[in-house]
Amino acid sequence: MAIFSNKKNEDIEIGFGKKKYNNSVRFLNPDGSVNINRTGSGGLNNIDIFHWLTTCSLFHLISVIILGYALVNFLFASVYFIIGAENFGGIDGSGAINHFFSLYFFSAQTLTTLGYGHMYPVSHAASTVAAFESLLGLMSFALATGILYGRFSRPKADLLFSNNILISPYGDIKGLMFRLANQKQYELIECETRVIVSYNDPETGKREFDGLPLEVDKINFLALSWTIVHPLNEESPLYGLTLKDYEERDVEVLILFKATNDTFTQTVFSRRSYKASELIENAKFTPIKTEPDEKNRLKIDVTKLHEYSKLS
């Protein structure tokens, strides 16, 4: 039976401890986020709205802005409606529905400090609410500016990792391989990759973390794609393991990537992990063709990064 080597190439503690878990766990999600749910400090302490707004997808951000804008105007229009349409000058139409829509658009003009002047408050109660809404509008735009600046000024590594990690022929032996590429047009320089394997050791009864030596762990430019290779030789803690062994020991391969974003001249990071369900045995990545375009620039289709073929 294949077992993990007792020889550790380095003493590693990356922050997840050595505890062995009865159930399968995942330390890093496929998107690179840490798969930890911190509890016990209260519900409000677990909410970080600014972090979520600066890291969520553009679709979610736009949805929050539109829904929040519509909801705030609906709430203020309801307050104005309760105060009474007779407390506003220049209101058009008759009937409750027409009055409510007029007050809704008055709220939108007040919130944005646009103020067409067609409608205006004529009582102290209506003027007080309108003044409060104007203050809220100014504060909201200041917050929105900070969120947008945070999103667009935050340097990051927009890496695309292959969907699967493969066990492929590598010289006279086999190698554990995955691919990555830069999705954006800016350059990532001084790129470094560190690969760590986590597993339940059947001999020690603990969760172990071993660093995996790589064929190449540093390159100057991530210009094209990069195939990361760990040779599965006798020095590897994964030597001789089958797919069943990976599953039984709850193996997780953790990737830590570091580079410098030349646009901001700042260090950026990216993470990814692979579980046994994402491991393909006896397969090989399909080469990604690079050819000059009409401007004599090398062209690479990063969507081909995931393609592989099974070997007979």
| Predicted local distance difference test score (pLDDT) of residue 2 | 40
Mean pLDDT of 58-85: 93
pLDDT in tens, 154-181: 777 788 999 999 999 998 999 999 999 9
- Bridge partners of 181, per DSSP, are 160, 225
C-alpha 28, offset from chain centre = 11
| Predicted local distance difference test score (pLDDT) of residue 278 | 94
- Bridge partners of 308, per DSSP, are 285
C-alpha distance across the termini of the chain, in Å: 24
pLDDT in tens, 192-237: 999 999 998 888 778 888 999 999 999 999 888 999 999 999 999 9
Mean pLDDT of 79-106: 90
Cα separation, 23 vs 271, in Å, equals 23
Question: Residues 71, 81: contact at Cβ < 8 Å?
Answer: no
Question: Got the DSSP string for 205-247?
Answer: -SEEEEEPP-S--EEEE--SEEEEEEE-STTSTTTT--HHHHH
| Predicted local distance difference test score (pLDDT) of residue 11 | 59
Mean pLDDT of 42-62: 78
Tokens standing for residue 115: 């103020």
pLDDT band at 44 (very low <50, low <70, confident <90, very high): low
Query: Where is pLDDT greater, at 153 or 80?
Result: 80
Question: Residues 108, 137: contact at Cβ < 8 Å?
Answer: no
Tokens standing for residue 39: 């509890």
Q: Which residues contact residue 15 at a Cβ distance below 8 angstroms, ignoring those fewer than 6 apart?
A: none
- Token pair 């969120």 in the structure block, residue: 147
Lowest mean pLDDT among 77-86, 176-185, 292-301: 292-301
Question: Residues 253, 222: contact at Cβ < 8 Å?
Answer: no
Reply yes or no on whether the pLDDT at 259 is more than 70. Answer: yes
Q: Torsion over CA of 271, 272, 273 and 274, rounded to 10 degrees?
A: -160
Q: Which domains does the chain have, with CATH numbers?
A: 45-153 (1.10.287.70), 159-310 (2.60.40.1400)
Q: How far are the Cα atoms of 35, 67, 123, 210, 274 from residue 105, in angstroms, in the given order?
A: 44, 15, 18, 62, 52
pLDDT in tens, 100-147: 999 999 999 999 888 888 888 999 999 999 999 999 999 998 988 888
Nearest alpha carbon to residue 272 among 250, 256, 252, 251: 256
Q: What is the mean pLDDT of the chain?
A: 86
pLDDT band at 261 (very low <50, low <70, confident <90, very high): confident
Mean pLDDT of 259-279: 89
| Predicted local distance difference test score (pLDDT) of residue 25 | 81
Q: Is this structure's pTM higher than 0.75?
A: no
Mean pLDDT of 1-18: 55
Supply φ then ψ for residue 99, to 5 degrees.
Answer: -65, -40
- Type of residue numbered 230: H
Mean pLDDT of 253-270: 89
Question: Got the DSSP string for 259-286?
Answer: EEETTTTEEEEEEEEEEGGGEEESEEEP
| Predicted local distance difference test score (pLDDT) of residue 45 | 64
| Predicted local distance difference test score (pLDDT) of residue 164 | 95
